[in-house]
Amino acid sequence: MDRRTKDRHELQLVCHIGAAKILSAPIDGVTENMSRDGMLMRWLENVPLPAIGSALTVEVDLPEGPDFGPRVMRCNSTVVRITGKPGERRCVGLRIEKVRFTKSVKVRKYDLASMPVATEKVS
């Protein structure tokens, strides 16, 4: 029985899952679909699956629009289901509890080898 009350949209967007009790470091992922109050995201094979009922903070990178720059949708969510079998593509269903939109802060990566060498020692 389908209990969804909001329309679901097929959206493949890059997302970042913050480190919490189940993860030792943040990971990147991709959404499969989203609705106003939930999302389904692909889970990486080498990352332990969260338990149903676990709280996760997920940041979804939103595409730029004509009136605004890069934005992030930060979701406080709860794991409600896990699909797929071991060895197959696993997906995690999340219920979105709270959403906040923020400007995206992209971290630039620098090639340290191309940076000038320091001329003085700092003591």
Per-residue model confidence (pLDDT) at position 16? 85
| HEC per residue, 11-31 | CCCEEEECCCCCCCCCEEEEE
Of the listed ranges 18-22, 25-29, 51-55, the one predicted with least confidence: 18-22
Paired strand residues for 69: none
Mean pLDDT, residues 3-31:
74
pTM exceeding 0.95: no
Q: What pLDDT band is residue 108 in, cutting at 50, 70 and 90?
A: very low
**Which CATH code, of 3.10.20.310, 1.10.645.10, 1.10.1740.10, 2.30.110.10, is assigned to 9-105?**
2.30.110.10
Q: Is a pLDDT exceeding 50 seen at residue 6?
A: yes
Q: Residue ranges per domain, the chain? A: 9-105
Per-residue model confidence (pLDDT) at position 22? 55
* E strands in 1-123: 9-10, 14-17, 27-35, 38-43, 55-62, 71-83, 90-103
